[in-house]
Amino acid sequence: MLFKILLLALVIGGVYYFFIKKKPLPKETETMVECDKCGTYVSTKEAIIKDGKYYCSKECAGVKG
């Protein structure tokens, strides 16, 4: 039964380690870029990229929906 406990501890430890590793600092993952039109800072995840430039919204990007 000791092996089972050891395995369980290993799994818990692995999951714990995995979650910590999967939680990187927001500063490292999200790069803030300036909207080419209005100058608003927006993260690259949310930014709209058009012609190699970043925009904060569809309006600024000139995309008409």
Binding site for Zn ion (CB under 5 A): 35, 37-38, 40, 56, 60
Residue 61: how many other CB atoms lie within 10 Å: 19
State which residue, 9 or 38, has the beta carbon closest to Zn ion: 38
Radius of gyration, CA atoms only, the chain: 21
State which residue, 33 or 60, has the beta carbon closest to Zn ion: 60
CB of 30 to Zn ion, least distance (A): 17
CB of 26 to Zn ion, least distance (A): 21
- What is the DSSP annotation of 1-42? -HHHHHHHHHHHHHHHHHHHHT---HHHH--EEE-TTT--EE
State which residue, 4 or 45, has the beta carbon closest to Zn ion: 45
